[in-house]
Amino acid sequence: MKQESIGNQQHTEFAWYAGSDALSAFEIDAELVKCGCSCTLTKSEPVVKHMNEFKKAVWAWQKVALITLPCFMLCGLTTLSAAEKPAASPADSGGKSELFKVFVKELVPITPGKGKFPRSFQMGSTKGEPAERPVHKVTMSDDFWMSRYEVPQNLYQAVMGNNPSRWGGPRNSAEMFDWKTAREFCVKLTDELRKAKLIAADEEIRLPSEAEWEYCCRAGTNTEYSFGDQPQKPGDEDKQARILDEYAWHTGNAAGNDPPVGALKPNPWGLYDMHGYLWEFVADPWHDSYENAPGDGSVWGSRTDDQPVVVRGGAWTDRFEQLRSAFRNRVTATTVSPALGLRCVKAKVKKSEN
């Protein structure tokens, strides 16, 4: 996939999410008037039973309307406003501190060389694009934690104070921000978690290196996807990929990035949406191939001003080929897209960074 194809899919087909709950918070039935703010008013007159009581009933409804209209304006408009701005405020989801605790709780410990985590893996693919070659051995040097999910919008809002996402939902993946902003998010989240003593002073939240990302995507596998080589079942045509459907949102099964994170199956290490949903920024600047790439899992060099950056995993806008574990893509550092988000790592701060 080329850089310019990120997020270029038309969005007219998406409909079911936006505002779907907006009206449910304000209901009127025959006996009760219920409002989203939890007040409950009992209607003083019964439903019309015969024509002689018609006038009485109309007056009763008028009274109810007079009483509840201000309530509707306060509560209903608040609800509609929330639907228009789908990112919940931190308070809507239990407050900042709760969101930070959830984020830490959802980190998956990755311990290369111990248990199910191999010390080394083969990075790249001989079957894919030239940028995926040469396949080379990477030996992971340190333990780290990988986010189970892409960063959701309620956490993004809590950290950054805004939510630029086009396709809203508090637990939908955050999108529409560039690489520098993704790094800024990690720095701010690090500060917040240290202040809250949810991480140690010598730990940080950062973007994964490209090698860490592929190591976690493969999750001990050397197949094209973390579930095997084949994304399609016999009979699948064009972009259809019914095996991949169980694990990933891609252009063959996604109506948009509507669902919350983690709606499909995880990979063998319990990481969700590594294949698909959104492309994910990593820390590395772009290189056209793996010639002379480091073999220790670290970030490959510092980015120069005009250098593109790497994004991984494919998105809901892409065909299944681009969701392979080894597939690489590049974007300019200023690219924003509804198909591009991030996933974080927690790790010890390298001594050279102190």
**Which residues between 49 and 78 bind Ca ion (CB under 5 A)?**
none
- The smaller minimum CB distance to Ca ion, of residues 297 and 313, is found at 313
Q: CA of 353: how far to CAs of 152, 163, 294, in Å?
A: 28, 30, 18
Number of residues that bind Ca ion (CB under 5 A): 4
Closest by CA position to 169, among listed 89, 258, 272:
258
The answer to whether 179 contacts Ca ion (rule: CB under 5 A) is no
| Among the residue ranges 32-40, 44-52, 128-136, 273-281, the one whose residues contact Ca ion (CB under 5 A) | 273-281
112 near Ca ion, rule: CB under 5 A:
no
Degrees to nearest 5, angle at CA 64 with 63 and 66: 65
Which tokens belong to 208?
Answer: 């994964």
DSSP-derived letter for residue 323 is G
Cβ distance to Ca ion smaller for residue 3 or 292: 3
With contacts defined by CB under 5 A, name the span among 2-10, 152-160, 177-185, 274-282 that binds Ca ion. Answer: 274-282
Within 8 A by CB and 6+ apart from 93, the residues are 99, 154, 170
State the nearest-atom distance from the C-beta of 179 to Ca ion, in Å.
Answer: 16
Rounded distance between C-alpha atoms, residue 29 and residue 33, angstroms? 6
Distance CA 120, CA 215 (A): 9
Q: Which is nearer to Ca ion, 82 or 182 (CB)?
A: 182
> Does the footprint of Ca ion cover residue 175 (CB under 5 A)?
no
Could you say whether residue 277 binds Ca ion (CB under 5 A)? Answer: yes
Site for Ca ion in 284-313 (CB under 5 A): 313
From the list 252-260, 261-269, 272-280, 296-304, the region that binds Ca ion by CB under 5 A is: 272-280
Among 204, 214, 273, 318, binds Ca ion (CB under 5 A): 273
Q: Which is nearer to Ca ion, 171 or 194 (CB)?
A: 171
For tokens 């939510």, the residue is 163
Residue type, 346: K
DSSP string of 13-35?
A: T--SSTTTTTTTTSEE-SSEEE-
- Which residues of this chain interact with Ca ion, rule CB under 5 A? 273, 277-278, 313
